[in-house]
C-alpha cells in the first residue's frame, strides 16, 4: 500500500518566515515537498476564510508561519494572527477538522533549521492523522 502524502498549505510572512524558507533552500537543507507556500506580506493578512478555503479545496493541513511576537514589520500583525489562530483552533473541530491539522509558529529570517523542523513535524503529524475526510 502506498504511503499517504499530505498536502500542506503554508501561509508565510514575507519578511521572516518566507526568508527563513529561502535560507533553508539556499543552504540546501532538505524538507518535505508536501508544503505549498503562499507568500503573504504579513501573517496578519491571513484571513480565517483563507484557512477554511484551503481545507475546503483539499489541504490536509494548514500552517501559518510569521515573525516572532515583537518583531512584526507591521507592528502588531502577528498578534492579530495569534487571535485568529486561537479562534480557528476552537471552531475547526465543528467542521470535522482535527486541531493538529492547523498550526502556527514563529520563524525569523535566520531560522532556516527551525523552518525545516516545523515543516517536517507538521507533515509527519498530518501523515499520521491520514487524509482529511471531507
Q: Do the domain assignments include residue 3?
A: no
CATH of the domain at 113: 3.40.50.960
The residues facing 38 across adjacent strands are 11
Q: Do the domain assignments include residue 1?
A: no
Structural domain of 84: 8-129
pLDDT of residue 92: 98
Q: Do the domain assignments include residue 30?
A: yes
Q: Do the domain assignments include residue 15?
A: yes
pTM: 0.96
- Cβ atoms within 10 Å of 25's Cβ, excluding its own: 13
Buried b (16+ CB within 10 A) or exposed e, 32-59: bebbebeebebbbbbeeeebbebbeeeb
Vertex 34 angle, CA 99 and 74, to 5°: 65
- Compute the average pLDDT of residues 61-85: 96
Number of domains in the chain: 1
- Compute the average pLDDT of residues 115-124: 98
Give dist(CA 26, CA 48) in Å, integer: 31
Amino acid at each position: 500500500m502506498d504511503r499517504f502524502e499530505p498536502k500542506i498549505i503554508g501561509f508565510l510572512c514575507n519578511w521572516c518566515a518566507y526568508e527563513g524558507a529561502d535560507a533553508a533552500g539556499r543552504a540546501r537543507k532538505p524538507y518535505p515537498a508536501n508544503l505549498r507556500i503562499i507568500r503573504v506580506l504579513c501573517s496578519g493578512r491571513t484571513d480565517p476564510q483563507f484557512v477554511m478555503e484551503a481545507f475546503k479545496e483539499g489541504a490536509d493541513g494548514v500552517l501559518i508561519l510569521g515573525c516572532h511576537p515583537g518583531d512584526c514589520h507591521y507592528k502588531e500583525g502577528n498578534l492579530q494572527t495569534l487571535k485568529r489562530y486561537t479562534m480557528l483552533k476552537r471552531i475547526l473541530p465543528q467542521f470535522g477538522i482535527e486541531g493538529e491539522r492547523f498550526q502556527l509558529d514563529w520563524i525569523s529570517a535566520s531560522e532556516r533549521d527551525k523552518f525545516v523542523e516545523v515543516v517536517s513535524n507538521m507533515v509527519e503529524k498530518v501523515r499520521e492523522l491520514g487524509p482529511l475526510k471531507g
